[in-house]
Structure 1
Amino acid sequence: MMARAGVIVIGLCLVLYFVLTGQWAFLYLTSGDPVGIAMGAALIVLPLIGAWALVREVQFGVQAERLGSKLDAEGGMPAAETELSPNGRIARADAEPLVQRYAAEAEAASDDWRARYRLGVVQDAAGRRKDARASIREAIRLAKLTS
């Protein structure tokens, strides 16, 4: 729920940014000065890049949440096998063997989105966010192929 609230706040900030930069872009574009026109064009392009990035992140979040809910309903989410820290992370000593085990399972079932998603969950709990996002993106891709 906190993640959704964060996305909403960021989205609202982006809309405010669009309005303000749109005003500045208009002023620069109508200035007649070549440097001002270039700055106005940049003020139009940069928010579009930001909007694209926000849409991609929201799509990832929605798709990941949908797969996570489906896997949880099937009873396929990984169980907490070790003691977790207060922030939900796996202790460093326990993290690597767990990640390796789930990685081996994901490799053995390379076309199963469930195994890849479980790997992503364990990687996230181990503090390996970049790897976790890559694994969950792969799970999303595999789920689309099997649909």
Structure 2
Amino acid sequence: MKNTSTKVVVTIAAIIFALAFYFVLLGQRGLELVKDGRAVPVGLGVAVLVLPLLGIWMVFATVRSGFQHQHLATRIREEGLELDVTDLPKRPSGRVDRDAADALFAQVKAEWEADPDNWRNSYRLARAYDYAGDRGRARETMRRAVALESAERAQGR
């Protein structure tokens, strides 16, 4: 697993480096347009300068979320609460079969409904949403799990 983790980290670092290079080039082009002094190039230059700022924000937010999710995954794994899908039937693509994912989701949702303010239940529900193919709700529920776990750490539990 360490080897896979190292490959992932190296790949992410390479992508971030490439994006940083691209953002610098884009910023330089934007500055050149602004320095032109004429109205249209200045307007385009300002618009081009916004793109690297948006890109930096997106990279930061994505990496921060990745670290937060990894932190929760580590805690869940250490507590032995990770969803076990090894025995569930899989599609040829490797994803969990839809009916099996739906059954798993129903079970995890019932656990969550019993204690919705427990970050562990929200984490497990987010994973169940992901296995069921509902990525939007999975992200939303994972954000909730991150917030609940952060609040729990702040309280010193």
Q: Distance in 2 between matches of 1:86 and 1:100?
A: 23
The structure, 1 or 2, with the larger RCO (C-alpha pairs under 8 Å, 6+ apart) is: 1
Q: Which amino acid aligns with 2:105?
A: V
Superposed displacement of residue 84, structure 1: 2.7
Alignment partner of 1:63 is 2:52 = no
Q: Distance in 2 between matches of 1:110 and 1:79?
A: 21
Superposed displacement of residue 125, structure 1: 2.1
Q: Aligned runs of 1:1-147 on 2, under 5 Å?
A: 1=5, 3-80=8-85, 81-85=87-91, 87-147=93-153
Q: Which runs of 5+ in 1 are unaligned?
A: none
Tell me if the contact between 1:67 and 1:140 (Cα under 8 Å) persists in the aligned partners.
yes
**CA offsets 1:33-87 (integer angstroms, 9 cap, x no match):** 1111111111111211111111111111100001100110111111125223354
**CA offsets 1:4-27 (integer angstroms, 9 cap, x no match):** 344323312221111211221121
Superposed displacement of residue 124, structure 1: 1.6
Q: Distance in 1 between matches of 2:45 and 2:146?
A: 38
Q: Distance in 2 between matches of 1:125 and 1:34?
A: 52
Q: Which amino acid aligns with 1:99?
A: F
The range that moved more, 65-74 or 128-137, is: 128-137
Superposed displacement of residue 129, structure 1: 1.8
**CA offsets 1:69-124 (integer angstroms, 9 cap, x no match):** 01101111111252233544210122222212212211221110001111112222
The range that moved more, 55-64 or 124-133, is: 124-133
Q: Which runs of 5+ in 2 are unaligned?
A: none
RMSD between aligned alpha carbons?
A: 1.7
Q: Distance in 2 between matches of 1:103 and 1:72?
A: 19
Q: Distance in 2 between matches of 1:5 and 1:86?
A: 29
The range that moved more, 126-135 or 58-67, is: 126-135
> Normalization by structure 2: what TM-score?
0.85
Q: How many residues align?
A: 147
The range that moved more, 119-128 or 72-81, is: 119-128
